[in-house]
Structure 1
């Protein structure tokens, strides 16, 4: 899911700018939202298959197509280039790809944050300090890379105190089974597999940085402004799906089994992934979180990492390059270049029963 590659991130910027800069969104009645396989996003397929999305779209006389894209970063690049009206992404990738490319983007739904689904595992070290002068394998510039940076900072170390080796998520588990690879950072379900290796120790996980790895549904700000019905339909469908997914009912069990199979596992495996996430089952939970000091501080940390790794582009002279707006109007970064917005209006409508 969360694979990141700098060249792929930045390749979309010029093309997207040529398509999207200066374009004015208009009212329309048909929209498309891209998603990729991950525990926090597969519920969109359930909403599609069970007619929940259609029910809410019909309520507002629009059509919403939920489209699966096999490559996570490519889905965000396609959104950035104007091929989709919305996309599922982490907060870091939403900042580093569309927003840094000049695409004004709104986080319409804050669905969850990783609360143990991302981790750092070693065959040898029993503490983070034991990684000094060692080599850690991970998907470079991904949230795993961010997790490692936070883990090192927690004990006063920096990335320069060790070596980082890039590896694809497809190869990581098999590589960890060899003698050469001793330490890895990754996400579930890969994390569960490497953690079960005999003698392996989990040194750090995302539960120690709550709120930092957020899973979002993003939409273009201009599109949302011109078509508020889209926001209402998406939020209504999402939280109806959440109410089913969390329920201790036959319908809830069937939903989790369906999503487990869709995710390449089963009901038990999917429920284990959910346990490693802080799910915002109700819209008020999302509203409360995104208005918290915790969320603000986490986003500040994410943008600092993104700048340090060059993810904000060559024109970025500081982490302030991209302005990030929060629900209360507070802006982090350049007020003249606000390109990522956390808007809780529609989630608040859902919480108030006004959709």
Structure 2
């Protein structure tokens, strides 16, 4: 495990360079049974069920059922939320598949993805000013959170447009600052996720030229938990699954209660109900736990994570490793990817399956 962590609220590049340590991470220390846990989250349409569930008493309901307490804590900067989880401040965090791999897992922190909540189906996009074709990005500076899913989306977009990574120079910008940065007349290209993306899309001359809808299922949004903590406290996983599926079922409803839940989530995200509903329209939510179990167990997840880890390795995020196989991943059914002796990212469908089987 990484012994100490630098606060990186603005510098995702340093997150990749400093938190990723070696291809032989130390084993997680054994965790003890506990009754209180903290879960970190940052603003994103697919993660707003978590703070809403806390506000509406759904977190307390499920935590009480299992005799525990769960604190759902907002972090204003997304990368910082992952860093705090990796450093042990949080027991779990809302994170994308790539960032779960490249920060905690590649840093040696054994991490379990227990809820595959959604995939970005247009919630991440590439914007240009004064052009409506991605090919026009050649030679420009692109503002984005470097080494995040935005960087991955840019790489996939360039690939599909027949361009090379060297055709664009990236400018590392935190998600907290990117709206302001793109507002500068000198900024003519950016990659972002919602809600920032929707705001930036409204700026003068801005056009969205590529989005995650063109690579469906590749940018996944997860709830991950420290594996040792989960093993010692399986009730945490059960409570989190119960919270998630009750809340998502509520927000999917088209009656007054569902509308009120979505409006409350919009307010928590600093958005309007109309804008939030627009963001949800580009988020493929796995509202049905059976669908989530199927997606997590499907061969396509291994294919997706192969693409993600190969990109991550190409960017030097597995520091000191000689191949992309350095960081091991485990999938349902006993499948593994990479070094099976050093698995630090596990896709664990068991809690989603309990929800699907009505056994929570």
Relative to the length of structure 1, the TM-score reads: 0.92
**Secondary structure at 2:221 match in 1:** strand
Q: Paired residue for 2:131?
A: 125
Query: Which residue of 38, 50, 57 corresponds with 1:51?
Result: 57
Distance, in Å, in 1 between the alignment partners of 2:342 and 2:78 is: 26
What is the 5 A alignment of 1:22-171? 22-171=28-177
Unpaired runs of at least 5, structure 2: 1-8
How far off is 1:5 after superposition? 0.9
From the superposition, tell whether residues 7 and 38 of structure 1 become closer, same or farther in structure 2 (CA, over 3 Å). Answer: same
Q: Is the 8 A contact 1:10 1:97 kept in 2?
A: no
Query: Which residue of 274, 277, 284 corresponds with 1:278?
Result: 284
Relative to the length of structure 2, the TM-score reads: 0.91
What is the 5 A alignment of 1:207-218? 207-218=213-224
How far off is 1:317 after superposition? 1.7
Distance, in Å, in 2 between the alignment partners of 1:160 and 1:147 is: 15
**Secondary structure at 1:121 match in 2:** strand
How far off is 1:223 after superposition? 1.6
From the superposition, tell whether residues 32 and 137 of structure 1 become closer, same or farther in structure 2 (CA, over 3 Å). Answer: closer
Q: Please tell me whether residue 223 in structure 1 is matched to residue 229 in structure 2.
A: yes
Q: Paired residue for 1:193?
A: 199
Q: Is the 8 A contact 1:9 1:73 kept in 2?
A: no
Q: Please tell me whether residue 328 in structure 1 is matched to residue 328 in structure 2.
A: no
From the superposition, tell whether residues 115 and 58 of structure 1 become closer, same or farther in structure 2 (CA, over 3 Å). Answer: same
Backbone CA RMSD of aligned residues: 2.2
**Secondary structure at 2:333 match in 1:** coil
From the superposition, tell whether residues 232 and 170 of structure 1 become closer, same or farther in structure 2 (CA, over 3 Å). Answer: closer
Higher mean C-alpha displacement, 4-13 vs 248-257: 4-13
From the superposition, tell whether residues 79 and 139 of structure 1 become closer, same or farther in structure 2 (CA, over 3 Å). Answer: closer
Distance, in Å, in 2 between the alignment partners of 1:46 and 1:168 is: 25
From the superposition, tell whether residues 61 and 276 of structure 1 become closer, same or farther in structure 2 (CA, over 3 Å). Answer: same
Q: Is the 8 A contact 1:3 1:72 kept in 2?
A: no
How far off is 1:150 after superposition? 0.2
Q: Paired residue for 2:358?
A: 353
Q: Paired residue for 2:12?
A: 5
Distance, in Å, in 1 between the alignment partners of 2:288 and 2:11 is: 30
Distance, in Å, in 2 between the alignment partners of 1:33 and 1:165 is: 30
From the superposition, tell whether residues 340 and 253 of structure 1 become closer, same or farther in structure 2 (CA, over 3 Å). Answer: same
The number of equivalent residue pairs is 350
From the superposition, tell whether residues 4 and 353 of structure 1 become closer, same or farther in structure 2 (CA, over 3 Å). Answer: farther
